[in-house]
């Protein structure tokens, strides 16, 4: 049966990703129950599971209400802060879903939070608030080295895989990225496409990992253009990927 993946816009800027076939769905990061329940109803399908990338409220707050309606398994990072978890996961684990029929691998991607995980296979990547299109998550509980490492590992996944991020931040991210890498034609092109999509009220996600590698400054910290940009921001910045990442992340945080 064909599997489809759709964004359910929630809260200010979140996307709950609904992975479904003709009968059933699993939800990724349901921060709000009402919009998710409406989407399930609109499709005439039931909920069979919930996947969680990290413990922040905007990714889990809808779970208790959903469980009242559908007592389903909840997979997510082994972290006490996710009270509704039934299947704690860690690096290297596999999630085998029956309906929709789907297998996802689990990768630890700490940085945004200490226990953040990413679900992936050859065709899809659910990275929560680790990787955004043209950006990345803030470092609430991790170091630049951890986040750089997490992004490096995501960057090595299948280039044709589609990236399903936790938030619609792409337009603002494009403005920042263009300010640090103004001469990247792929980025200029993506910024234009993104502006058009947002003007039409459409999501900018998913995006292929390959496209992100060409445009996302936080995945490009080893390139001369980004090293030069970081050293312009901070003349004391070194040339390692982690130092360049830290400088770019700090500049973005300050804006």
Is 129 marked active-site? Answer: yes
Instruction: Name the residue nearer to Fe ion (CB basis): 14 or 149.
Output: 14
Which tokens sit at 116? 């953040």
End-to-end CA distance of the chain: 46
Per-residue mark of binding to Fe ion, 136-175 (x: CB under 5 A)? ------------------------------x---------
Which of 79, 129, 168, 211 is the binder for Fe ion (CB under 5 A)? Answer: 129
Catalytic: 79?
A: no
What distances in angstroms separate CA 99 from CA 3, 33, 45, one per listed residue?
Answer: 10, 20, 11
Q: Are strands 94-97 and 102-108 parallel, antiparallel or unpaired?
A: antiparallel
**Would you call 23 a catalytic residue per the annotation?**
no
The answer to whether the CB of 103 falls within 8 A of the CB of 121 is yes
Could you say whether residue 56 binds Zn ion (CB under 5 A)? yes
**Token pair 């599997």: residue:** 3
Query: What is the crossing angle of helices 144-155 and 241-253, to 10°?
Result: 110
Binders of Fe ion in range 89-118 (CB under 5 A): none
Q: Which stretch binds Fe ion (CB under 5 A): 52-60, 76-84, 191-199, 219-227?
A: 52-60
Binding residues for Fe ion, total number by CB under 5 A: 3
- Give contact residues for Fe ion (rule: CB under 5 A): 58, 129, 166
Residue numbers at the binding site for Zn ion (CB under 5 A): 56, 129
């Amino acid at each position: 049966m064909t599997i489809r993946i759709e964004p359910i816009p929630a809260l200010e800027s979140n996307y709950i990703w609904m992975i479904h076939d003709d009968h059933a769905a699993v939800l990724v990061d349901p921060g709000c129950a009402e919009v998710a329940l409406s989407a399930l109803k609109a499709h005439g399908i039931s909920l069979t599971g919930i996947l969680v990338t990290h413990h922040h409220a905007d990714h889990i707050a809808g779970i208790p209400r959903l469980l009242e309606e559908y007592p389903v398994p909840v997979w997510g990072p082994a972290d006490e802060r996710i009270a509704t978890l039934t299947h704690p996961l860690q690096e290297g684990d596999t999630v085998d879903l029956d309906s929709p029929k789907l297998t996802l691998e689990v990768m630890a991607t700490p940085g945004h939070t200490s226990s953040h995980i990413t679900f992936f296979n050859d065709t899809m990547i659910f990275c929560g608030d680790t990787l955004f299109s043209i950006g990345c998550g803030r470092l609430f509980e991790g170091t630049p080295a951890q986040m750089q490492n997490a992004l490096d590992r995501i960057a090595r996944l299948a280039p044709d895989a589609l990236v399903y991020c936790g938030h619609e931040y792409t337009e603002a991210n494009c403005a920042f990225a263009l300010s640090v890498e103004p001469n990247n034609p792929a980025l200029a092109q993506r910024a234009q496409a993104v502006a058009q999509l947002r003007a039409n009220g459409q999501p900018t996600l998913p995006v292929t990992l390959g496209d992100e590698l060409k445009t996302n400054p936080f995945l490009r910290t080893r390139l001369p253009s980004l090293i030069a940009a970081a050293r312009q921001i901070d003349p004391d910045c070194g040339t390692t990927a982690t130092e360049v990442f830290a400088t770019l992340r700090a500049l973005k945080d300050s804006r």
